[in-house]
Amino acid sequence: MACLSENDDFYQGLRADFDREIEAEESNPSVKNPLPMSIREFIDNIYSRFVKDPAQVSTYQEDFHALWYMFIRAAQNIDAESAEQDRLFNQLVYAKELGATLSGEDVSAWIYLPYLVEDFEEAWVDNSRKLSPSKRRNFAAFTARLLALGACDVNISLCALWLLRETLETTRAIGPDPNVQQLAISEILPAVVEWFHISSTKLLKLAVHEWSDGKSITDIALPGALAQAEGIQQPGFSIARWVFWRNRLGELYYHEGADGVRANAKKAFDHMILTGRLLGHEIPGEKTYWSVVFRRLDRELQRSGKASVGLEDILPEPGWANEPESEDE
């Protein structure tokens, strides 16, 4: 790697070189993904210079911004279900643990991965609309890992809050419309699924504790128009908002629209409805839902004559959380 310079041109060139690596990987998927290794080399580069010249972390601000740019671009490019996502996450933990080996003034900030949350938030709010649905899903999977595994400040959850507002609290077409520039629900719902798949326990805990970042007047934490129309005014996470998201997913499940919307809505709903039960929280509607589930399981067991039955035998539906099954059904 070239010797670092304070010249802005260097950092622009560094980003451009990394972008070319991504383009090369995309054009030849059979080649082993080199992105985590390039990131590891840059982490070591920053660390070695910091050891020799332990200035304030702010002195290395451009280095960290360039490093998070690499992580963001790599996360968008690595499939959400690939083990390479875990490998990439390991590089971030490596950077964090390097900070723990340092001593002296102002080194604790290194451990908290300076500027990461701000850069990821900007990537979501300002740039994620330009991504393809698959890359947006990939990015969601990686960002959700950061929250689920406690790799960085809890403010990273604002990325999820923004996405959930844009997807479930904003009026959108179900499927793409060539006459409308706004993204359709079908294009962003896969990213929502990843957030609930990977970090639903953290998201529910934030809702239970009504967490907000302290900047609740900022747009990113405010409920969307659809949620506000239902009386939800409190910024940040809340149980009321959690239930609203779950109900919206239920509505999408019953909507005959674009391909994949029903399936993705069901996946996200299932992650949510299971999380409350897992954590032992009494979320409105869940007691009714599980009552219907177990009642139907009992009936299916009697009807089928099998030794055991599972959820796949009764195919639970989101509407059960709002419409309890009658006793004579």
Q: Flag whether 13 is in a domain.
A: yes
**Does residue 162 share a domain with residue 262?**
yes
CA dist 233 and 290 (Å) reads 29
pLDDT classification of 23: cutoffs 50, 70, 90? confident
Domain final residue, candidates 83, 114, 145: 114
pLDDT classification of 27: cutoffs 50, 70, 90? confident
Q: Flag whether 299 is in a domain.
A: yes
Q: Flag whether 127 is in a domain.
A: no
**For residues 213 and 182, is the Cβ–Cβ distance under 8 A?**
no
The pLDDT, as a whole number, for residue 103 is: 66
What does the pLDDT look like over 54-91, one tens digit per residue?
777 778 899 999 999 999 999 999 999 999 999 999 99
| Threshold 0.75, pTM exceeds | yes
- The mean pLDDT of 223-231, rounded to a whole number, is 97
**Does residue 89 share a domain with residue 161?**
no
**Does residue 173 share a domain with residue 279?**
yes
What does the pLDDT look like over 282-294, one tens digit per residue?
999 999 999 999 9
**Does residue 30 share a domain with residue 14?**
yes
What does the pLDDT look like over 236-272, one tens digit per residue?
999 999 999 999 999 999 987 767 899 999 999 999 9
Nearest Cα residue to 310 out of 322, 324, 325, 298: 298
pLDDT classification of 329: cutoffs 50, 70, 90? very low
**Does residue 298 share a domain with residue 277?**
no
**Does residue 84 share a domain with residue 12?**
yes
- The DSSP code sequence of 45-100 is HHHHHHHHS---GGGGHHHHHHHHHHHHHHHHHS-TTSHHHHHHHHHHHHHHHHHH
The pLDDT, as a whole number, for residue 10 is: 83
pLDDT classification of 37: cutoffs 50, 70, 90? confident
Nearest Cα residue to 119 out of 176, 92, 171, 159: 159
Domain that holds residue 264: 153-284
Q: Flag whether 182 is in a domain.
A: yes
Q: Flag whether 40 is in a domain.
A: yes
Looking at the predicted structure, is the pLDDT value of residue 36 above 90? no
CA dist 58 and 127 (Å) reads 25
Count: domains in the chain:
3
**Does residue 267 share a domain with residue 196?**
yes
CA dist 22 and 74 (Å) reads 7
**Does residue 327 share a domain with residue 242?**
no
The pLDDT, as a whole number, for residue 135 is: 98
Q: Flag whether 134 is in a domain.
A: no
Q: Which burial class, exposed, middle or buried, applies to 103 when counting CB atoms under 10 A from its CB (0-12, 13-18, 19+)? A: exposed
Q: Flag whether 139 is in a domain.
A: no
The pLDDT, as a whole number, for residue 25 is: 79
**Does residue 249 share a domain with residue 190?**
yes
**For residues 25 and 34, is the Cβ–Cβ distance under 8 A?**
yes
- The mean pLDDT of 208-217, rounded to a whole number, is 77
- The mean pLDDT of 163-189, rounded to a whole number, is 94
**Does residue 303 share a domain with residue 277?**
no
In the chain, the percentage of residues whose pLDDT exceeds 90 is 69
What does the pLDDT look like over 110-130, one tens digit per residue?
788 999 999 999 999 999 999
Q: Flag whether 271 is in a domain.
A: yes
Domain final residue, candidates 66, 85, 114: 114
Domain final residue, candidates 50, 85, 114: 114
**Does residue 3 share a domain with residue 101?**
yes
- The mean pLDDT of 93-103, rounded to a whole number, is 83
- The mean pLDDT of 175-181, rounded to a whole number, is 87
Compute the mean pLDDT over every residue in the chain, rounded to the nearest whole number.
89
**Does residue 109 share a domain with residue 173?**
no
The pLDDT, as a whole number, for residue 117 is: 95
